[in-house]
Amino acid sequence: MSMAALFRGYRNFYKRSNKHVELSLVSYRSMASKTPVGFIGLGNMGTPMARNLLKHGYPVIATDVFPESFKDLQDSGAQILDCPAEVADKADRIITMLPSSPNVIEVYTGPNGILKKVKKGTLLIDSSTIDPAVSREMAIAAEKMGAVFMDAPVSGGVGAASLAKLTFMVGGVEEEFNAAQELLTSMGANAVYCGQVGSGQAAKICNNMLLAIGMIGTAETMNLGIRLGLDPKLLAKILNMSSGRCWSSDKYNPVPGVMEGVPSANNYQGGFGTKLMAKDLGFAQDTATSTQTPIPLGSLAHQIYRAMCACGYSNKDFSSVFQFLREEGV
Amino acid sequence: MSMAALFRGYRNFYKRSNKHVELSLVSYRSMASKTPVGFIGLGNMGTPMARNLLKHGYPVIATDVFPESFKDLQDSGAQILDCPAEVADKADRIITMLPSSPNVIEVYTGPNGILKKVKKGTLLIDSSTIDPAVSREMAIAAEKMGAVFMDAPVSGGVGAASLAKLTFMVGGVEEEFNAAQELLTSMGANAVYCGQVGSGQAAKICNNMLLAIGMIGTAETMNLGIRLGLDPKLLAKILNMSSGRCWSSDKYNPVPGVMEGVPSANNYQGGFGTKLMAKDLGFAQDTATSTQTPIPLGSLAHQIYRAMCACGYSNKDFSSVFQFLREEGV
Amino acid sequence: MSMAALFRGYRNFYKRSNKHVELSLVSYRSMASKTPVGFIGLGNMGTPMARNLLKHGYPVIATDVFPESFKDLQDSGAQILDCPAEVADKADRIITMLPSSPNVIEVYTGPNGILKKVKKGTLLIDSSTIDPAVSREMAIAAEKMGAVFMDAPVSGGVGAASLAKLTFMVGGVEEEFNAAQELLTSMGANAVYCGQVGSGQAAKICNNMLLAIGMIGTAETMNLGIRLGLDPKLLAKILNMSSGRCWSSDKYNPVPGVMEGVPSANNYQGGFGTKLMAKDLGFAQDTATSTQTPIPLGSLAHQIYRAMCACGYSNKDFSSVFQFLREEGV
Amino acid sequence: MSMAALFRGYRNFYKRSNKHVELSLVSYRSMASKTPVGFIGLGNMGTPMARNLLKHGYPVIATDVFPESFKDLQDSGAQILDCPAEVADKADRIITMLPSSPNVIEVYTGPNGILKKVKKGTLLIDSSTIDPAVSREMAIAAEKMGAVFMDAPVSGGVGAASLAKLTFMVGGVEEEFNAAQELLTSMGANAVYCGQVGSGQAAKICNNMLLAIGMIGTAETMNLGIRLGLDPKLLAKILNMSSGRCWSSDKYNPVPGVMEGVPSANNYQGGFGTKLMAKDLGFAQDTATSTQTPIPLGSLAHQIYRAMCACGYSNKDFSSVFQFLREEGV
């Protein structure tokens, strides 16, 4: 067991009972902070995130199922191991960034998964966007092994990941938030503590649901205004100084020609894919169903992004809903 | 015919052909600006608007169908006449602020309507929120009498009207915009030129449709987050620093306890009534249908506000959709 | 004035006051029934309808704006005139079958319209599907000329028109229903009296709204069942013996391979076009908005058919919504 | 191990390899059919179902968590045991009828559950309406113990259960369908084989989704027609002879006064509760999300029933959506 993990164990033992000891452990962790960090999942998001850890002086021990995805990071100085279990054997702080719930389950609880070799006191931070129920399951499984699991999904895309401008929404035991924050702020601009395990996912799901509603609403409104004879730039200006204003109207307008540097200015390439938005809305739908919460617009937004996937928009940015609603028929 | 009207006549005659004359007429109008202004429609919005004209030194000549509504304004110094036709006989700039399309039709084209005695060159500004098609009809009828009609619906409620902080969205002949703006900025913070007659209504309809979508979306999202265990204030904070941000989340949050000074902090009293929002969404629906524009979320928002009216929410602020979606069943 | 029209005049004079005279006039009309019938609008629906009148022994006097559209009917023995006014000069019973409200307004009230030469007592039956408000306007205009206007839109498409199996939904003065029914049953299997003028349109709008909802619902349900592993024919059988049953599931199933002789068996060719359904749903939307009636599913159905038009489905049968929802993305 | 179970074991062994033996086993089962049948879940549905088994001469061995619920059945001659495990010890055919997925999991796999004492070859039929994924899990767990699990949810309510007129939608191994059918047709009019385990649930979910869509659609349409001046009985008649026809319009009309003997004639008492419909639509939503199937109307129907629950309609029949949409506001 590493020193950091050892101290983590003490720290967990003392927490709540001894504020003084707590503080001194925090300062220990800060001192120890340049011990290796594990990173699992080196896709479009994971690679720049791991690179930012390296930039901040953290040794990185990484792995991914696709060998071609870790070449770049290896050249930047990361050590590559064969599987999550091996990473868990070497690092007592591990970040995972994976595409979906089944991958997370596999990486944590699979035959070569993290929990096979995780050390007591290890801090596990999952930045994947997944079903909050899976986050809770992973937290329970980790706790059985003496480790701590936190969910920390991100807001912001590949660009924000490269520039270390992500926002992390963090769920888990509050006492561990400082430890997580130290790593997360090397990869992002903000880390917000949201509550118990799964709360990070919940906050992200909520944000993305409102984002989807705002985007489709903006696309409909701009389209209607244009059909009524309004100039799109003028309409955007009016909305943005009025109560119709939202992020999709003032930062990411879906109408080509209104803004520069957004996917609508680039034929809806890049950005946040329709398929990914449909996936996130699926989580919103699932959690709303299980909590018996009515989400009429959120649910319709989900259906619209799902129908767009059926019509060939899967890989276009989610602002392409403007094109979908506008496209001229035969 | 007053001097101002006389000059307006000339001005219309010369416009397009003689830029130089145009400019000198504009400066004439500016000089003449403290001639009386007519005001028709002294309801909750109209009365404070007219009072702001008085404050800026304009003599006001007003009327309303309900005698009880002009007492206040009379005490403030306005002259009250019997009907719109008489107002038109005395003033060459008239503002109307009425509840619905039929009222506007009556006030302009009825037996005692403005157009019965309107003087050539009179500037008619309608700040009612009505069907843009009616605005266009009124403009044509006014033009036949040699008068100029502009639509200038407002953004902002009774509070903004009192504080002269309204935003006016103005449609009509561009050459008349300066003349309109002079009056409008006595009653509001902004006047935005939107294009030909009806464009002001179009812009307002668009804004309010997106506002309704954002509000319902915010209500759904906040409700879902709360059911998932998030603290409402924290969730609002996260949304407002992320891509879910919109006017309804950051300026007018529908969840009691999140903000002060908004209707949700006051049992949804005051503000902008559900019934009025349903009316505005009806215009969005009508114009979308006639222009064959798909507005899936706008249309569902309309249906939700309509269903709320059926369930007793007509006179509550439109942010009460949070309560509607949340209310516990039997 | 023809004899029939003369008697119609008397009849209107006496109606309500003298039941005995009424009855004898009805028998007169029956006797006179093979006097010429005017027919205006010789499109895909109008031509077979007019031909069925000829088959039943009625002389037909017809016109259409497109000369190429009346060749066929001329060969079958109809007399072709230049314009609606001329038809009105020769016939005291006239049927109109036109594509949209503006055409109806033109054909009735335009410079060469029916009402320019309509004879007192003429029975005018409009089988177009239009805005019920336009039907009411036409009825008022006709009444001013001493003529009687009824709206009688049809259920059933080109096939039903050829086979004289249409259903007519009839609105107008009840006393005239028998006279209308005599002609309508030469062209269809049923004529249902629905109430005052505009009621036929109202009934048709209601039927088509529920039809659209049932069709999209069936398409969604069949698609979901197939994705869950059910055989489509088996699923259709189960629905049709259960409470999910509807006309779209048991007579017009949208899934290729489930039924023969329906558009889904023929690549969605023929049938009732998506564009026409979108038009009818526009009427439903308009009347619902103006009567402040919530129609959440009807409104969403409208939006879906409108979005389908934007995606190239305008001319496919409305059951192609199955394909729209199912189509695989890129 | 009972004789029936023994033969079931043989039968499973021989199935596929020896058609002749198969047939003789089927005739054995038929002969053995009056051996005791287990029944677990004696609620409003389960009690009349079990009583119908008794009527058909089957000895019934039953249990329920609520002692008060088995008094009636005990008086009718059923033997009551303490827990599902004990029932499984005595019967080799067991039917379960439970309110929700967690109850099913408990009754099958809990500490006193069926699978603790189930005999090899036992036929387990679950008539609960639950998540199809849970059905599949139960089937796998049963198979491990050498038993056979089938899902057989019902269409039809308490009335149909009493009159043995239920329809069963059956999923599971096809070779076992005959054995299941024998029991099911003692409790219902039809048993339809739908495919592999979970298919019964899938068929039921699909049916109820289309039912909900048809019901809300009918309610909207009737309401719109009434507002447009149509007589509700006449409108229902027109719809039912036209393409708008569906089960909700012709068998279960939601408008008071149109039909007798339906919940709308009885203040929406009895029938199928809004809360139960919302639950079933939750399954539709979940399965659609997980199979990435767009269900725009199904999803909105879910939201409407969920919102109705929030507004106090939980225990009213699901046709009360007519009242919900119609109710007059303040």
Stretch (H or E) spanning A154: strand A154-155
The whole-angstrom distance between C231's CA and the closest CA on chain A is 21
Residue D287 has pLDDT above 50, yes or no: yes
Residue D7 has pLDDT above 90, yes or no: no
CA distances C243 to A215, B190, C216, D214, D252, Å, are 38, 57, 16, 9, 9
Q: What is the mean pLDDT of residues B246-267?
A: 96
Residue D242 has pLDDT above 50, yes or no: yes
Per-residue confidence at D33, pLDDT binned at 50, 70, 90? low
Residue D85 has pLDDT above 50, yes or no: yes
pLDDT digits (tens, 9 = 90+) for C230-267: 999 999 999 998 999 999 999 999 999 999 999 999 99
Written as one letter, the residue type at D1 is M
Max mean pLDDT range (A59-73, B26-40, C175-189): C175-189
Residue C89 has pLDDT above 70, yes or no: yes
Contact with chain B for residue A221, Cβ under 8 A? yes
Lowest mean pLDDT among B40-44, B124-128, C24-28, C302-306: C24-28
Per-residue confidence at C68, pLDDT binned at 50, 70, 90? confident
Contact with chain D for residue C160, Cβ under 8 A? no
Torsions phi, psi of D208, nearest 5?
-70, -30
Per-residue confidence at D8, pLDDT binned at 50, 70, 90? very low
Q: What is the mean pLDDT of residues A220-249?
A: 96
Verify whether the Cβ–Cβ distance C298 to D239 is below 8 Å.
no
Find, among B110, B41, B114, B115, the residue nearest to B78 by Cα. Answer: B41
Q: What is the mean pLDDT of residues B272-284?
A: 94
Residue B30 has pLDDT above 60, yes or no: no
Find, among B329, B328, B330, B308, the residue nearest to B320 by Cα. Answer: B308
Lowest mean pLDDT among A11-15, A218-222, C72-76, C128-132: A11-15
Mean pLDDT of chain D: 89
Mean pLDDT of chain B: 89
Residues of D in contact with C247 (CB under 8 A): 242-246
pLDDT digits (tens, 9 = 90+) for D38-82: 999 999 899 999 999 999 999 999 999 888 888 889 999 999 999
Go through the domains of chain B in sequence order and give each one's CATH number: 3-195 (3.40.50.720), 202-326 (1.10.1040.10)
Tokens for C272, please give them.
């009732």
Mean pLDDT of chain A: 89
CA distances A61 to A89, A146, A166, D159, D260, Å, are 10, 21, 21, 66, 73
Per-residue confidence at D330, pLDDT binned at 50, 70, 90? very low
Verify whether the Cβ–Cβ distance A295 to D278 is below 8 Å.
no
Verify whether the Cβ–Cβ distance D304 to A296 is below 8 Å.
yes
Chain B: residue nearest A291 by CA?
B227
Q: Is residue B204 annotated as part of the catalytic site, yes or no?
A: yes
From CA C196, how far away is CA A99, in angstroms rounded? 62
- Best of A302, A308, A309, A321 to disrupt the D interface (most D CBs within 10 Å) is A302
Q: What is the mean pLDDT of residues D5-16?
A: 38
pLDDT, greater one: D100 or D209: D209
The whole-angstrom distance between A176's CA and the closest CA on chain B is 18
pLDDT digits (tens, 9 = 90+) for C158-203: 889 999 999 999 999 999 999 999 999 999 999 999 999 999 999 9
Instruction: Return the bridge partners of A220, or none.
Output: none
pLDDT, greater one: A321 or A70: A321
Verify whether the Cβ–Cβ distance A295 to D303 is below 8 Å.
yes
Looking up tokens 């229902």 gives D236
Instruction: Return the bridge partners of D273, or none.
Output: D317
Strands (E) located in chain B: 37-40, 60-63, 79-80, 93-96, 123-126, 148-151, 154-155, 166-171, 188-195
Q: What is the mean pLDDT of residues C54-72?
A: 91
pLDDT digits (tens, 9 = 90+) for C19-51: 343 333 443 444 455 789 999 999 989 999 999
% of chain B exceeding 90 in pLDDT:
79
pLDDT score for C281: 96
Q: What is the mean pLDDT of residues A243-251?
A: 96
pLDDT score for A28: 42
From CA D316, how far away is CA B330, in angstroms rounded? 10
Tokens for A282, please give them.
């699926």
Lowest mean pLDDT among A214-218, C270-274, D244-248: C270-274
Q: What is the mean pLDDT of residues A206-229?
A: 97
pLDDT digits (tens, 9 = 90+) for C138-164: 999 999 999 999 999 998 888 899 999
Per-residue confidence at A156, pLDDT binned at 50, 70, 90? confident
Residues of C in contact with B307 (CB under 8 A): 294, 296
% of chain B exceeding 70 in pLDDT:
89
Cα angle value B138/B142/B143 (rounded, 5°): 120
Chain C: residue nearest B300 by CA?
C296
pLDDT score for A328: 60
Helix (H, G, I), strand (E, B) or coil at D148: strand
pLDDT score for C156: 82
Q: What is the mean pLDDT of residues D186-197?
A: 95
Q: How many Cβ pairs closer than 8 A exist between chain A and B? A: 244
If contacts are CB pairs under 8 Å, which of residues 171-190 in chain A contact chain B? Answer: 190
The minimal CB distance from D299 to the residues A293, A303, A309 is found for A303
Chain B: residue nearest D303 by CA?
B325
Per-residue confidence at D155, pLDDT binned at 50, 70, 90? confident
Residue B188 has pLDDT above 50, yes or no: yes
Residue D36 has pLDDT above 90, yes or no: yes
Chain A: residue nearest C321 by CA?
A307
Q: How many Cβ pairs closer than 8 A exist between chain C and D? A: 248
Contact with chain A for residue C312, Cβ under 8 A? yes
- Indicate which residue of C204, C233, C237, C279 is catalytic: C204
pLDDT digits (tens, 9 = 90+) for B162-175: 999 999 999 999 99
Contact with chain C for residue B294, Cβ under 8 A? yes
% of chain D exceeding 90 in pLDDT:
79
Per-residue confidence at D157, pLDDT binned at 50, 70, 90? confident
Per-residue confidence at A33, pLDDT binned at 50, 70, 90? low
Looking up tokens 């503590």 gives A193
Tokens for C191, please give them.
């004529």
Contact C26, C178 (CB under 8 A): yes
From CA A153, how far away is CA A139, in angstroms rounded? 15
pLDDT score for C15: 38
pLDDT score for C202: 97
pLDDT score for B1: 36
pLDDT score for B328: 60
From CA D285, how far away is CA D304, in angstroms rounded? 13
Residue D13 has pLDDT above 50, yes or no: no
Find, among D295, D296, D284, D297, the residue nearest to D131 by Cα. Answer: D284
Tokens for D213, please give them.
């869509």
Torsions phi, psi of B128, nearest 5?
-65, 155
pLDDT digits (tens, 9 = 90+) for D311-321: 999 999 999 99
From CA C57, how far away is CA D4, in angstroms rounded? 76
pLDDT, greater one: A153 or A14: A153
Verify whether the Cβ–Cβ distance C245 to D246 is below 8 Å.
yes
Contact B277, A277 (CB under 8 A): no
Verify whether the Cβ–Cβ distance B224 to A132 is below 8 Å.
no
Lowest mean pLDDT among A237-246, C9-18, D176-185: C9-18
If contacts are CB pairs under 8 Å, which of residues 52-91 in chain A contact chain B? Answer: none
